[in-house]
Amino acid sequence: MKISLITPAAKTSRAGNRTTAMRWARILGDLGHQVDVATTYEADPDADLMLALHAWRSGASIARFKARHPDRPVIVALTGTDIYHYLDADPEPTLRSLDLADRLIGLHDLVPTALPERYRHKVDIVLQSALAHRERWPPSDEVFEVLVVGHLRAEKDPFCAARAARRLPARSRIRIVHLGGAHDAAWASRAETEMADNPRYAWLGDRPGSLTRRWLTRGRLMVLSSLQEGGANVISEAVVSSLPVIASDIPGTRGLLGPDYPGYFPTGDDAALAAMLLRAEEEPAFLQVLHERGGMRAHLFSPARERESLYQIFARYAEAHNGNDTSPEIPKPKRIRTDHGGLR
Model pLDDT for residues 59-115, shown as the tens digit of each residue: 999 999 999 999 999 999 999 999 999 999 999 999 999 999 999 999 999 999 999
- Considering the entire predicted model, what is its pTM? 0.88
State the burial class of residue 46 (Cβ atoms within 10 Å of its Cβ: 0-12, 13-18, 19+).
Answer: exposed
Query: What is the reported pLDDT for 19?
Result: 86
Query: What is the reported pLDDT for 13?
Result: 61
Alpha carbons 159 and 176: distance in angstroms, whole number: 10
Query: What is the reported pLDDT for 305?
Result: 97
Alpha carbons 221 and 294: distance in angstroms, whole number: 12
Alpha carbons 231 and 229: distance in angstroms, whole number: 5
Q: What is the 3-state secondary structure (H, E, C) of the chain?
A: CEEEEECCCCCCCCCHHHHHHHHHHHHHHHCCCEEEEECCCCCCCCCCEEEEECCCCCHHHHHHHHHHCCCCCEEEECCHHHHHHHHHHCHHHHHHHHHHCCEEEECCCCHHHHCCHHHHHHEEECCCCCCCCCCCCCCCCCCEEEEEECCECHHHCCCHHHHHHHCCCCCCCEEEEEECCECCHHHHHHHHHHHHHCCCEEEEECCCHHHHHHHHHHCCEEEECCCCCCCCHHHHHHHHCCCCEEEECCHHHHHHHCCCCCCEECCCCHHHHHHHHHHHHHCHHHHHHHHHHHHCCHHHHCHHHHHHHHHHHHHHHHHHHCCCCCCCCCCCCCCEEECCCCEC
Query: What is the reported pLDDT for 333?
Result: 40
**What residues are paired with 146 via a beta bridge?**
176, 221
Longest dimension (CA), the chain: 69
Alpha carbons 99 and 207: distance in angstroms, whole number: 37
Per the CB < 8 A criterion, the answer to whether 309 and 126 are in contact is: yes
CA 310 to chain centre: 16
CB contact set of 103 (below 8 Å; sequence gap of 6+): 73, 75, 76, 122, 123, 124, 313
Report helix angle 233-240 to 284-295, nearest 10.
Answer: 110
Per the CB < 8 A criterion, the answer to whether 85 and 228 are in contact is: yes
Q: Do strands 174-179 and 201-205 pair parallel, antiparallel, or not at all (unpaired)?
A: parallel
Alpha carbons 63 and 145: distance in angstroms, whole number: 46
Spans of the chain, pLDDT less than 50: 325-344
